[in-house]
Copies of this chain bind each other. A is one copy, B any other.
Amino acid sequence: MSWSRHGGGGTERRGYHHGNLREALIEAAVSLIAAKGPAGFTIAEAARQAGVSPAAPYRHFRDADALLGEVALRGFERLEAALTRAWANGTPAPVPAFEAMGRAYLGFARDEPAYYAAMFEAHVPREAAPGLQSAGDRAFAVLREAAERLAAVAPKERRPPALMMALHVWSMAHGIASLFVRPDPSRRKLPMTAEELLEAGVLIYLQSLGLAGGG
């Protein structure tokens, strides 16, 4: 395999062929977005960071949107993995597992700002990368299935449509992430952590469905 000779870094010697330029460009895009936001990313700069001429990226990506779309796609895959891990198939119990999933969403926004920005802030057309749309669908499906499991446990007369539950929780998590987690220069200060805010909100919401203790 050619890229085994080229492995990780950027400064390393290489021949005429890069060997793994596609991956290197994606990595470069991620680090550029992390540093300067999605608007600060350009194909030319990504090429420079990959140590390659400005024309080279066009062998792999039609334009900037295609590259951004690939970053977004991988972001959705990572988010899906993180949510799946947190939900842990509803263990030890559905409600705490659901809460863990909420924390995972915020953790993703915090720890992977570049992916998050490509997914939700770059306004990449869904056709930009093949599979982008379905990767997004799969990430949301994790949340929806968890909501279905929860809904099944709820007292029948209070049970809302699981899809709606999923949308409510996603919206609250996403709103909190956008307003209080993403590094925005005009971000408002919170009197608690974003995680505490979300956890409280979800608990209040679930209580109403007969799913969480007391109050």
A binding-site residues for B, Cβ under 8 Å:
37, 39, 72, 120-121, 123-126, 132-133, 136, 140, 157-158, 160, 163-164, 167-168, 170-176, 178-180, 184-186, 188, 190-192, 197-198, 200-201, 204-205, 207-209, 215
Contact = CB atoms under 8 A, between A and B. Distances in A.
A29 to B, nearest CB: 16
Contacts of A180: 171
A33 to B, nearest CB: 13
Given A204-B209, A208-B215, A188 B39 contact: no
Given A167-B197, A171-B197, A197-B168, A188 B140 contact: yes
A186 B132 contact: yes
Given A197-B171, A201-B168, A133 B186 contact: yes
Given A186-B125, A207-B208, A208-B208, A170 B164 contact: no
Protomer copies: 2
Nearest to A207: B208
Given A126-B186, A175-B175, A205-B205, 4 more contacts: A160-B204, A204-B205, A204-B208, A205-B208
A171 B173 CA distance: 8
Nearest to A159: B215
Given A126-B185, A157-B215, A184-B123, A191 B163 contact: yes
B185 A124 contact: yes
20 contacts: A37-B123, A120-B178, A121-B121, A132-B186, A133-B186, A164-B197, A164-B200, A168-B172, A168-B197, A170-B179, A171-B176, A171-B179, A171-B198, A172-B172, A175-B175, A175-B176, A178-B178, A205-B208, A208-B208, A209-B215
A72 B184 CA distance: 14
A190 B170 CA distance: 13
A124 B39 CA distance: 13
A189 to B, nearest CB: 11
A185 B175 CA distance: 19
